[in-house]
Amino acid sequence: MPRIISIGTAVPPYAYYQDEVKDFSYTLFRDSFPNIDRLIQIFSHTAINRRFFSMPREWFDTEHSFAERNQIYIDMASRLGEEAIRNCIEPIGMEISDIDHFIFVSTTGITTPSLDAHLINRLQMNPYVKRTPIWGLGCAGGVAGLARAYEYARAFPEQKVLLLALELCSLTFRRQDHSKSNLVATSLFADGAAAVLVSGRKMNIPIGPRIVTTQSRIWADSLDVMGWDLKDDGLKVIFSRDIPTLVRKQARCLIENFLAEENLDLGCIDSFIFHPGGRKVLEAYQDALELPKNKFQHAYSTLHDYGNMSSATVLFVLEKALQQSHRYGSYGLLAALGPGFSSELALISWDEEDNFESL
């Protein structure tokens, strides 16, 4: 079965602590909300300490066109994507040109040719590499991308699949959008990239956890829960306050049914590798699954150190989980929610097979 071999992550150069962003946002939004002193406290309640942005602080003081934002996206994403891919591939002694299939996931910028083509040229990858760019999955994209990599590696067990999830959420910030959704988004979102190498079962390289199965779920009549509205100057955030409530109502049944298909239950899961959409979302998972906070330690740690980087975030959580030792036969569960309104799940296992599989 396909396995996760390596993960590499990268963040842009500008780091900001939450209090700095809070002060900036207070100045920007104070004339729009009579209760701004109360609303601004959401910044203090996010469980976020620091985030990374693609541009320096003064860039956010002026208006920017969609074209300008998007060119910055292409330039920074190319640099950040290269760094994440090198951090994934080079430590295991493999050549980037050995990649057979390249899956690229993003929702925060647009380019044709898609960014994977830019990176194939930049990194001098195999000119015959297959590529699959995926756009529009939002925060669910990291797990969905891993699922697509799993399916390809299962069909072609002699091949190596590279997944890159990359989001530059800060570039979508629009100064003139004084909605509560934009205020909440400003308190949460950040920039980052994560690359994951997945191999089929016939690869003669060190192995990691096996990907057992995956699941996608979309709810009808829920298109307005999260996403973008396309405006002349960029992407306007859609972000419903009902997301934690939806988690409390839907998550347990969804996850239990998913695990039951593998004759497992919640008690069989050792590692909960969940996308930290925000503190309230993680707390909603805790309530729904009746689990203590420490079960989500890697999600909280990622949220604290990086904020919500949309699709890439759950792969940062996965990286932390893989840095720990795991007993043979233990299971990990990846989960993320995204526009649609949709859910993505993936089950992984640290099994007892040998450390190498021959061709």
* Residues near 112 by beta carbon (within 8 Å), at least 6 away in sequence: none
β-strand partners of 106 = 135
Enter the tokens of residue 121.
């040229």
Q: How many C-alpha atoms does 141 have within 13 Å on its Cβ side? A: 30
Give the DSSP letter string of 243-291.
Answer: HHHHHHHHHHHHHHHHHHTTT--GGGEEEEEE----HHHHHHHHHHHT-
Enter the tokens of residue 247.
């988690």
Helices (H) and strands (E) in the chain — how many of each? 10, 13
β-strand partners of 289 = none
Beta strands 50-53 and 234-239 are: unpaired
- DSSP helix/strand/coil, 161: strand
| CA triple 353-207-7, angle to 5 deg | 145
In the set 139, 169, 253, 268, the catalytic residue is: 139
Enter the tokens of residue 253.
């049944």
Can you tell me the distance from the alpha carbon of 242 to that of 72, in angstroms, rounded to the nearest whole number? 32
Can you tell me the distance from the alpha carbon of 309 to that of 128, in angstroms, rounded to the nearest whole number? 31
197 touches 3 (CB < 8 A): no
* Residues near 290 by beta carbon (within 8 Å), at least 6 away in sequence: none
149 touches 2 (CB < 8 A): yes
Annotated catalytic residue 88 = no
**Known catalytic residues?**
139
